[in-house]
């Protein structure tokens, strides 16, 4: 087979509290998918954390920097959470990603696990749809000094403390005051993140090609505080005016505590994630399948 992607990295699902059975299942699956890609003529490299957690020694091992420098494509096996973590790390290298869904929803890991043998050969040979996704870069500034920063592909979320009441947040866009929000928190979501927490909080769905963000209050005190769609070249600043034990999370994977007066700054990252989908893939097919549109009883 003529391959467009000959050097392939393989990443497996990370288990926060791994059991022997979960590790064994991941190891078996990685062996199966890796061996299949070798049969297609690919050089397969296993990501270092995947190798360490599974104990696999069948494939040469690379860390993320090595994958970014040496591999043509990265195949991610897991759920959207796994893909979010890998895509943020590989975005600076421009490495394209293929997602095989071992999770539940699979908005961005869209190849069903049972279909990888049917779908992967075509993508590896160059028959695919390419899909670029915007990332955000967020900072937490305390008395003018940056105390935390991280990338996010889904969302940046400012939340109230678990045991406290509402927080009061002052929001600015490009230096212009927008409003003070009294709420459980606020979400800044990319189009990719518009199908995640933002959607649950009443935010709009944004097409991935749209250069915009959704600013979505979480359970606001004033019902007139509605979600706003903003242009993503702008800068969003969220200041903690009042409230205890607030926190900021980035893709629900990086978390930092906040103090009164802290400012969370969000801008568009210079990096984008690159996803490869099977030929004929459509974003609307994904929405229809995952959100169960037009699937009522007849």
Q: What integer pLDDT is reported at residue 10 of this predicted model? A: 97
Q: Which residues 6+ apart lie within 8 Å of 210 measured at CB?
A: 191
pLDDT 10s digit of each residue in the chain, 298 long? 688 999 999 999 866 556 777 788 888 999 999 999 999 999 999 999 999 988 898 899 999 999 999 999 999 999 999 999 999 999 999 999 999 998 777 899 989 999 999 999 999 999 999 999 999 999 999 999 999 999 999 999 999 987 778 999 999 999 999 999 999 999 999 999 999 999 999 999 999 999 999 999 999 999 899 999 999 989 999 999 998 899 999 999 999 999 999 999 999 999 999 999 999 999 999 999 889 897 655 4
Active site residue 184: no
Q: Residue 76 and residue 135: Cα distance in Å, rounded?
A: 18
pTM, two decimal places: 0.92
DSSP collapsed to 3 states, 257-283: ECCCCCEEEEEEEEEEEEEEEECCCCH
- All domains of the chain in start order, with CATH: 7-126 (3.40.50.10330), 135-270 (2.60.200.30)
DSSP H or E stretch at residue 124: helix 116-124
Q: Which of the residues 20, 63, 70, 80 is marked catalytic? A: 80
For 288, the 3-state DSSP assignment is helix
DSSP state of 110: -
Who's near 83: CB < 8 A, 6+ residues apart? 76, 97, 99, 108, 109
Q: For the chain, percent helix, then strand, then coil, each to nearest 5?
A: 25, 40, 35
Dist. CA 212–CA 206, nearest whole Å: 8
Rounded Cα gap, residues 82 and 90, in angstroms:
12
Distance, CA of 98 to chain centre: 13
Token duo for residue 73 = 């494509």
pLDDT at position 2 is 81
CA–CA distance, 179 with 194 (Å, rounded to integer): 22
Summarize pLDDT for 82-119 with one digit per residue, the tens: 999 999 999 999 999 999 998 777 899 989 999 999 99
- Half-sphere exposure (Cβ direction) of 166: Cα atoms closer than 13 Å: 14
Kindly report the average pLDDT of the chain as a whole number.
93
Residue 208, pLDDT score:
94
Please name every residue paired with 265 in a beta bridge, in sequence order, or none if there are none. 139, 237
Residues 63, 47: contact at Cβ < 8 Å? yes
Q: Phi and psi at residue 41, in whole multiples of 5°?
A: 100, 10
């Amino acid at each position: 087979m003529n391959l467009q992607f000959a050097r392939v990295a393989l990443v497996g699902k990370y288990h926060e509290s791994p059991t022997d059975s979960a590790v064994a299942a991941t190891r078996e699956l990685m062996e199966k998918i890796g061996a299949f890609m070798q049969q297609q003529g690919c050089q397969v490299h296993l990501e270092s954390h995947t190798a360490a957690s599974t104990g696999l020694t069948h494939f040469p091992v690379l860390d993320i920097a090595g994958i970014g420098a040496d591999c043509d494509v990265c195949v991610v096996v897991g759920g959207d959470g796994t893909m979010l973590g890998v895509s943020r790390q590989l975005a600076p290298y421009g490495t394209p990603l293929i997602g095989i869904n071992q999770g539940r929803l699979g908005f961005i890991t869209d190849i069903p696990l049972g279909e990888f043998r049917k779908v992967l050969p075509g993508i590896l040979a160059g028959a695919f749809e390419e899909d670029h996704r915007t990332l955000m870069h967020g900072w937490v500034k305390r008395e003018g000094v940056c105390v935390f920063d991280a990338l996010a592909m889904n969302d940046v979320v400012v939340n109230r403390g678990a045991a406290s009441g509402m927080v009061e947040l002052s929001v600015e866009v490009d230096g212009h005051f927008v409003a003070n929000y009294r709420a459980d928190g606020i979400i800044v979501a990319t189009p990719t993140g518009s199908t995640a927490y933002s959607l649950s909080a009443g935010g709009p769905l944004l097409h991935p090609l749209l250069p915009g963000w959704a600013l979505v209050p979480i359970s606001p005190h004033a019902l007139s505080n509605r979600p706003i769609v903003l242009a993503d070249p702008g800068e969003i600043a969220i200041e903690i005016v009042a409230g205890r034990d607030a926190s900021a999370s980035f893709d629900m994977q990086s978390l930092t505590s906040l103090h009164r007066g802290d400012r969370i700054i969000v801008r568009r990252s210079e990096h984008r994630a690159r996803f490869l989908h099977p030929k004929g893939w459509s974003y609307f097919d994904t929405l229809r399948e995952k959100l169960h549109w037009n699937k009522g009883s007849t």
